[in-house]
Amino acid sequence: MELQQIRYFLALAQELHFWNTAERMFITQSALSRQIKALEDELGVQLFERTKRSVKLTEAGAFLREQWLPLLDEINRIHLQARKIHEGAFGLVRIGYPGSIVYGFMPDLITSISHALPELKVELVEPTDISFEQLLLNYQMDMAFRRDPAENPALQSECLYSESYALAVPQGHRLTEQNFTGLHDLENEKFILSNLAQTTFYTAGLRQIFEDHHFTPDVRIETDFGGMVLGLVSKGLGVTILPYSYSFSALPNVRFIKLPYQMNLYVTWRRNDNSPVLKNILKLVAETAHKYRQEQM
């Protein structure tokens, strides 16, 4: 017994007309008759009473129609779901990201995913103590955005765009883009920064900026969470240096001054991951990054 024979049976059970059913199912009337006869022979059950003028279901045929119809609907649903999984339109993707892209790039990407793949579930992860690479290699994440390329050869990275570091000061601060001349202008300022002893790419960039200017910041508050840093700057508790992406936060009472230093954003994934979902997401990542680069020009 084949699934297609059941489809033929259910179509005929609805039409009760061989010629109409054959036309609907895109086969000849004689082929339809053979399929129904083969199904009856295999089941050992007469499904239809046939005369020259009419076709009607037997009691056994009516019973099978009631049993098979919901099963066929479920099978069709399962097949459709399988096709969506095969095409990368259904499933789960886990994406890691740094806090610095939550106000610009990341919301744009998630919007694109939601529009293009509405049935895909997205799980966002902002790691703190565990490295992005470890989470990817352990299959706890499928993709990660990072400020530096992956070192492990089992991972693949691609640079998406570059952006400036920026000095963030309270809105009423004396320094502006017009009168700022360099870090020496910040000699007496209180800083709010991540712990500069950390080995992250971001803190390495900060150390480089300070070393280039032979400048030692007076750090009064340490925190790794950019949103908290911005909130404290907006309260006038100090100044900071952050990726320029934070300027899209629209937080009141904070002004940004670009610095002549750049940082990159990379997307990283498992090199041999052939997931259709990942393929679709990487395409959307590339499109969003292109749009983002255009907007920064």
pLDDT tens sequence for the chain (297 residues):
788 888 888 888 888 888 888 888 899 988 988 999 998 888 899 999 888 788 999 998 889 888 888 888 787 777 666 676 666 667 889 999 988 898 889 999 999 999 998 888 999 988 765 688 889 998 889 999 998 899 899 999 999 999 999 999 999 999 999 999 999 999 999 999 998 988 888 889 999 999 999 999 999 999 988 889 999 999 999 999 999 989 888 788 999 999 999 999 999 999 998 888 899 999 999 999 998 887 765
- Beta partners for 167? 241, 257
Do 201 and 250 reside in the same domain of the chain?
Answer: yes
Whether residues 21 and 167 fall in one domain: no
Residues 135/127, Cβ–Cβ less than 8 Å: yes
Same domain, 149 and 280: yes
What's the CATH code of the domain at 223?
3.40.190.10
The total number of structural domains that make up the chain: 3
Considering the domain architecture, whether residues 213 and 273 belong to the same structural domain is answered as no
- Do 99 and 156 fall into the same domain? yes
Sequence-ordered list of residues with C-beta below 8 angstroms from that of 270, at least 6 positions apart, any chain = 136, 137, 139, 142, 154, 155, 156
Measured CA to CA, the distance from residue 5 to residue 68 in angstroms comes to 11
Q: Are 189 and 219 part of one and the same domain?
A: yes
Is residue 72 located within the same domain as residue 115?
no
204 and 154 assigned to the same domain: no
User: CATH number for the domain including 30?
Assistant: 1.10.10.10
| Domain assignment of residue 150, given as a range | 91-160+265-296
DSSP per-residue letters across 200-243: SHHHHHHHHHHHHTT---EEEEE-S-HHHHHHHHHTTS-BEEEE
Whether pTM > 0.75 for this model: the answer is no
The answer to whether residues 109 and 196 belong to one domain is no
